[in-house]
Amino acid sequence: MSDPMRFSDQNAGDAVSLLLASARVDGPNEGAEQRVLAAVGTTLLGPAWAATGGNALGPLGSGVMKKLVVLGKWTALGATAALGALTATSAVNRPSASPSNAPASARSVPGLAPPEPAIVAGHADLARIVGGSVPGQPLEQRKKAALNEAAPASRPSRLAQEVTSLDVVRSELRANRANNALALLAKHSRDFPNGRLAPETDLLRIQALMLSGDRVTAARLAEQFLTRYPSSSYSTKIRELMDMRERREQ
Amino acid sequence: MVNTALAPTRVEPGDDAEVSSEVDAARLRGLFAAHYQFIWRQLRRLGVPEHAVEDASQEVFLIAARKIGPVAKQRERAFLFQVVLRVASDSRRFSRRHPDVAGAQEFPDLVDPLPTPEELIDLQVARSALDRIVAELPLDVRAIFVLFELEGMSGREIADLLELSPGTVASRLRRSRDMFETAVRRYRTRAERGRQP
């Protein structure tokens, strides 16, 4: 079988070449591989993961330099969040210290997340994908962890708990359960009245309200958010959501 | 919709028989080291938005770790690619059903106008435009286009990865390239029309 000449090898036109070149430079951002490996390993193996060497990938293993690079990136976005996240990162990368909260945290801790965190979209409901037959549903574990009021033996950091709580809200939103998400957000606000992730919480509340059909309240909260956090990295996303809503209503 | 004809190793989510009773930690690490970058690229190129690729890759490895037990080592990449197709398909379906939750990033037409060819010099603009064009291709055709044009695989390598005959790959590749060129022409026409006063 002889292959045709690729578009990129035949000067198929400037536009085509540029379009295809744009995809060739794609790649995961710094530390993504370690984050995903940590989350998957801890979700599947729990404490056993630590016994096998944790999330180390041999020559690719996470080192101090990688953490410093990630931290450096996040310093630009907010030193407070980055430092808090690094604290939670330690718990994630050492599952033996607090295995119960590691999977959710590993995905969502801001310092471990990409510069533009996936607020809601993306991680489809795992239960739906793997079916109900797999033992130890991660989502169930995460829900229990977030809803459990009793302090575990080795209590995770406050930020890690906050992250886990919001992760459950995201799961509910992805499953199109807006009312559950709103109820969990109300509980979250009671549990973390001075939470460090207030902007993320507000954004999730706006999205939950939009999903529930209460677009008037969502718009009001969005305006408050933009006033309160005019330079937040989420402001653009909120403006886009509001613009989309307005265009639909026209 | 994932074309099951692409499936080299069927992944049936509800099939207990395929679920490994124990996850092999060493094999999981090996899978990551050997295939993570490949998986990330294919998810992105098959239409998963950039902000969602990390979560999607987590899904791929969670599913794979539980089901890869009986898969031979030399078929690991083919197996993972099948899971990628499923996750990419789910991600596209979710975005279509939940535009508010998915955010405006999945609906760039609502956010910014189509760029002209001159503006495609900006790689980010070009990437967004490519997403829109490639999104017009059915997933099975798109997979072959992406593997050939972007991943640089030969037709024979694609046939081996997808467990298809070389003839089938060749005809789908021809179709995918024709569809891509048509989509680019349509895109340019729309862009030029949108810029007219």
**CA end-to-end span of chain B:** 39
Sign of torsion over alpha carbons A206, A138, B37, B94: negative
Contact residues, chain B, for A126 at CB < 8 Å: 59, 62
Range(s) of the domain holding residue B194: 112-197
CB A160 within 8 A of CB A98: yes
Q: State both tokens at A170.
A: 């995201």
> Of the ranges A84-88, A144-148, A232-236, B106-110, which is most confident?
A232-236
Query: Is some CB atom of chain A closer than 8 A to the CB atom of B37?
Result: yes
Answer yes or no: do A176 and B98 touch at CB < 8 A.
Answer: yes
State residue B67's pLDDT score: 81
Q: State both tokens at B99.
A: 């535009």
Q: How confident is the model at residue B186 (pLDDT cuts 50, 70, 90)?
A: confident
- Rounded CA-CA distance B144/B164 in Å is 11
State residue A214's pLDDT score: 82
Answer yes or no: do A123 and B58 touch at CB < 8 A.
Answer: yes
Question: Average pLDDT of B79-90?
Answer: 89
DSSP codes, chain B? ---GGG-SS---TT-GGGS-SS--HHHHHHHHHHHHHHHHHHHHHTT--GGGHHHHHHHHHHHHHHH-TTS-GGGHHHHHHHHHHHHHHHHHHHHHH-HHHH-GGG-HHHHSPPPPGGGGGSHHHHHHHHHHHHTTS-HHHHHHHIIIIIS---HHHHHHHHT--HHHHHHHHHHHHHHHHHHHHHHHHHHHHHH--
Q: Are residues B16 and B100 in the same domain?
A: yes
Q: Are residues B97 and B16 in the same domain?
A: yes
Q: How confident is the model at residue A55 (pLDDT cuts 50, 70, 90)?
A: low
Closest CB to B57 among A36, A211, A247 = A36
Q: Are residues B168 and B123 in the same domain?
A: yes
State residue B123's pLDDT score: 63
Query: Is some CB atom of chain B closer than 8 A to the CB atom of A209?
Result: no
- Rounded CA-CA distance B167/A117 in Å is 42
Where among B107, B125, B142 does a domain terminate? B107
Q: Are residues B74 and B89 in the same domain?
A: yes
Whether B70 is in a domain gets the answer yes
CB B89 within 8 A of CB B2: yes
- Rounded CA-CA distance B69/B79 in Å is 11
Whether B7 is in a domain gets the answer no
Q: Are residues B117 and B77 in the same domain?
A: no
Whether B4 is in a domain gets the answer no
Number of CB atoms found within 10 A of residue B109's CB: 11
Answer yes or no: do A123 and B59 touch at CB < 8 A.
Answer: yes
Answer yes or no: do A134 and B66 touch at CB < 8 A.
Answer: yes
CB A166 within 8 A of CB A197: yes
Q: Which residue out of B2, B11, B12, B29 would a mutagenesis test of the A interface target, given it has the greatest number of A Cβ atoms within 10 Å?
A: B29
Contact residues, chain A, for B35 at CB < 8 Å: none
Q: How confident is the model at residue B16 (pLDDT cuts 50, 70, 90)?
A: very low
Closest CB to A240 among B91, B111, B127 = B111
Query: Is some CB atom of chain A closer than 8 A to the CB atom of B110?
Result: yes
DSSP codes, A67-125? HHHHHHHHHTT-HHHHHHHHHHHHHHH-TTT-GGGHHHHHHH-GGGS-SS---SSS---
B41-53: b or e for each residue (b if 16 or more CB lie within 10 Å)? Answer: bbbbbbbbbbbbb
Whether B164 is in a domain gets the answer yes
Contact residues, chain A, for B99 at CB < 8 Å: 244
Query: Is some CB atom of chain B closer than 8 A to the CB atom of A224?
Result: no
Whether B68 is in a domain gets the answer yes
Where among B107, B131, B156 does a domain terminate? B107
CB B146 within 8 A of CB A6: no
CB B56 within 8 A of CB A122: yes
Q: Are residues B90 and B138 in the same domain?
A: no
Contact residues, chain A, for B155 at CB < 8 Å: 1, 3
Phi, psi at residue A178, to the nearest 5°? -65, -40
Q: Are residues B121 and B191 in the same domain?
A: yes
Would you tell me which residues 79-108 of chain B have a C-beta closer than 8 angstroms to some C-beta of chain A? 86-87, 90-91, 94-95, 97-107
Closest CB to B33 among A60, A210, A237 = A60
- Rounded CA-CA distance B34/A40 in Å is 16
State residue A131's pLDDT score: 27
Whether B28 is in a domain gets the answer yes
Total CB pairs under 8 A between chain A and B: 225
- Rounded CA-CA distance A4/B143 in Å is 17
Indicate the number of domains in chain B.
2
Q: Are residues B64 and B98 in the same domain?
A: yes
Answer yes or no: do B100 and A118 touch at CB < 8 A.
Answer: no
Listed residue (A39, A250, A55) closest to A163, CA to CA = A39
User: B158: buried, middle or exposed (CB in 10 Å: 19+, 13-18, 0-12)?
Assistant: buried
State residue A157's pLDDT score: 64
Record the pTM: 0.51
State residue A196's pLDDT score: 73
Q: State both tokens at A230.
A: 């005019």
Query: Is some CB atom of chain B closer than 8 A to the CB atom of A243?
Result: yes
Query: Is some CB atom of chain B closer than 8 A to the CB atom of A176?
Result: yes
Contact residues, chain A, for B190 at CB < 8 Å: none
Q: Are residues B69 and B119 in the same domain?
A: no
Whether B55 is in a domain gets the answer yes
Whether B146 is in a domain gets the answer yes
Q: What is the CATH number of the domain that holds B193?
A: 1.10.10.10
Q: Are residues B42 and B16 in the same domain?
A: yes
Question: Average pLDDT of B117-143?
Answer: 76
B148 pLDDT higher than 90: yes
Q: Report the length, in residues, of chain A.
A: 250
- Rounded CA-CA distance B119/B148 in Å is 26
B165 pLDDT higher than 90: yes
Q: Are residues B97 and B135 in the same domain?
A: no
> Of the ranges A44-48, A197-201, B4-8, which is most confident?
A197-201
Question: Average pLDDT of B142-167?
Answer: 92
Query: Is some CB atom of chain A closer than 8 A to the CB atom of B136?
Result: no
Q: Are residues B22 and B92 in the same domain?
A: yes
> Of the ranges A21-35, A172-186, B101-115, which is most confident?
A172-186
- Please name the residues in contact with A227: beta carbons below 8 A apart, sequence gap of 6 or more: none
Q: What is the CATH number of the domain that holds B102?
A: 1.10.1740
Where among B64, B85, B107 does a domain terminate? B107
Rounded to 10 deg, the angle between the A178-191 and A198-212 helix axes is 150
